[in-house]
Amino acid sequence: MMDRNFVFYTQRLIAAFALLAIVFIVAATPAKAEGISSQNDQELQQLFNQLENAPDSNTADLVTSQIWNRWMSTSGDTAINEMMERGTYFMQIGHLPLAEEIFTKIITDDPDYAEAWNKRATVRFMRQNWQGSEADIAEVLSREPKHFGALSGLGMIKLYEGDLPTALLIYEEVLTIHPYSPDAVKLIPEIKKALKGTAL
């Protein structure tokens, strides 16, 4: 009969080799980069600080453009960047089904890329798919909580749904991130006027 200590030692050795193999496999597998957002990217953090403290709307517009450019260029993948350009082009010229298909492919390939979710949310909004758009906006905000574009889109959905109190809260949140947001600046007074005399 085989010595019990020898069997125990052999089992531990096999387990150790198995664990070592797993470590090598994980180390050899390229890690998917975490999506870049204002939560982990110094450049975006600085830009949002500048936006929050912008002295006027012209300055805010310049910073906003830089933020959008940063969001668009953070996939880290040339092929995905090219697909984003194509999807955006088809969205702009009104080929919405094709644009949505392209953005869906990007999301499948890189689910942490917040701007792909935002673009598909926009397309779905344009196709009056409020539920689908809102679901995509939730994905955007889980990755980039300061995405004023996605928040504005959500506010617009709530307006279409007739939920004025929620729309007001959303646009007020937009203003805390982007004090010169054209949508928020324009719509907040109109929503308040519509809500006048009703319980919030």
Q: Cβ distance 118 to 150 under 8 Å? A: yes
pLDDT for the residue 34? 56
Q: Cβ distance 115 to 71 under 8 Å? A: yes
- 198: tokens are 């009703």
Using alpha carbons, select from 155, 124, 149, 151 the residue that is nearest to residue 138. 151
Task: Please state the three-class secondary structure of the chain as a single string.
Answer: CCCHHHHHHHHHHHHHHHHHHHHHHHHHCCCCCCCCCCCCCHHHHHHHHHHHCCCCHHHHHHHHHHHHHHHHCCCCCHHHHHHHHHHHHHHHCCCHHHHHHHHHHHHHHCCCCHHHHHHHHHHHHHCCCHHHHHHHHHHHHHHCCCCHHHHHHHHHHHHHCCCHHHHHHHHHHHHHHCCCCHHHHHHHHHHHHHHCCCCC
Distance, in Å, from the CA atom of 152 to the CA atom of 191, rounded to the nearest integer, reads: 14
pLDDT in tens, the chain (200 residues): 434 443 343 344 334 333 333 322 223 333 334 578 899 999 999 999 999 999 999 999 999 999 999 998 877 788 898 999 999 999 999 999 999 999 999 999 999 999 999 999 999 999 999 999 999 999 999 999 999 999 999 999 999 999 999 999 999 999 999 999 999 999 999 999 999 866 54
Look up the pTM and report it. 0.79
pLDDT for the residue 77? 82
